[in-house]
Amino acid sequence: MTKKGGPAPVAVKKPRYMLDSSVLIEAYQRNYPMDVNETFWVKLDALIVEGHACMPDEVYREIEKKADALFDWCSDRKDHLVMPIDVAEQVAVAEVLKAHARLVDTKKGRSMGDPWVIAFAKVHGATVVTEEHLTRNLAAPRIPDVCAAMGIDCINTLALVRAEKWKF
């Protein structure tokens, strides 16, 4: 409570992790299915609700394309999960695309969300979490390649589980 009797302001937490859609899709479909590993989803939910993990709206839209249980799970947490786009993120995404235009290639099915997840991580000092792999090919880069080139930390889901010391 404040001195005036109203509720104390809620501190906005800086996200530690910026999630790529591949994290949730791979967890849901292969690595941590909801019907087999409920604990993973409970712990991820807590990380999201506490403001430590989130994703840009463009990444959320990738998950939205499939009306499945994963989308329902994300939709139920949208207010905590999705970060709004601000001017700083727009500037950062332009920088990402200027330096790595081949990150987005609609002809090859490359995600429109990829530059956004990198830009948000850059602006907020967060670690990118993705299931994509480093290729060391900047002619056709993936998220880890661009993160490495830009000095942004990038890990996979298992590294997130270990960093958070989750036990199942």
pLDDT of residue 11: 43
- Cβ neighbour number for residue 155 with a 10 Å cutoff: 18
Task: Average pLDDT across each block of 10 residues of the chain; the chain has 168 residues. List them in order.
Answer: 44 80 96 96 97 96 89 96 94 96 73 93 98 93 97 98 95
Q: What is the sign of the dihedral through the CA atoms of 67, 70, 73 and 76?
A: negative
pLDDT of residue 108: 59
- Cβ neighbour number for residue 45 with a 10 Å cutoff: 16
SS3 77: coil
Q: How far is the C-alpha of 148 from the C-alpha of 161, rounded, in Å?
A: 21
Domains of the chain: 17-163 (3.40.50.1010)
Q: How far is the C-alpha of 34 from the C-alpha of 26, rounded, in Å?
A: 11
pLDDT of residue 109: 56
